[in-house]
Amino acid sequence: MRLRLYTILRRLPEGRRCRKMPIRISPKQVTPRKKVTLSIQEPIWQKVELYARYLGGKTDTTYVVEQILQAFFDQEKDFKRWLDGQQQLPTGT
């Protein structure tokens, strides 16, 4: 049988009850986007589409590709060392 939250809270001793905390919502960060066009082997793209479907919700293929690339760059130690030695990132190609 399910108990409602207020029923559970009423049963807790006074000192253990939840205190209301102010809700803090950070401002949405807007990251500039660059539109790119590329060709990907069909079997790889099918996996990207299937992975987006597997994640569910409003997950789209753009999000999946961004996350894959970010994970790759986060794990690539040699590239990180090389990048640290560069003056700045290229501004566009």
| Domain definitions of the chain by residue range | 60-85
More confident residue, 27 or 2: 27
The pTM of the full predicted model, rounded to 2 decimals, is 0.59
- Model confidence at 1, in pLDDT bands (50, 70, 90)? very low
**Do 48 and 65 touch, CB atoms closer than 8 A?**
yes
Position with higher pLDDT, 68 vs 24: 68
> How far apart, in whole angstroms, are the C-alpha atoms of residue 86 and residue 82?
7
* Amino acid type, 88: Q
The residue type of 35 is: K
Q: Which of 29-33, 37-41, 45-49, 51-55 has the lowest mean pLDDT?
A: 29-33
In terms of pLDDT, which residue wins out, 65 or 89?
65
Q: How confident is the model at residue 18, as a pLDDT? A: 56
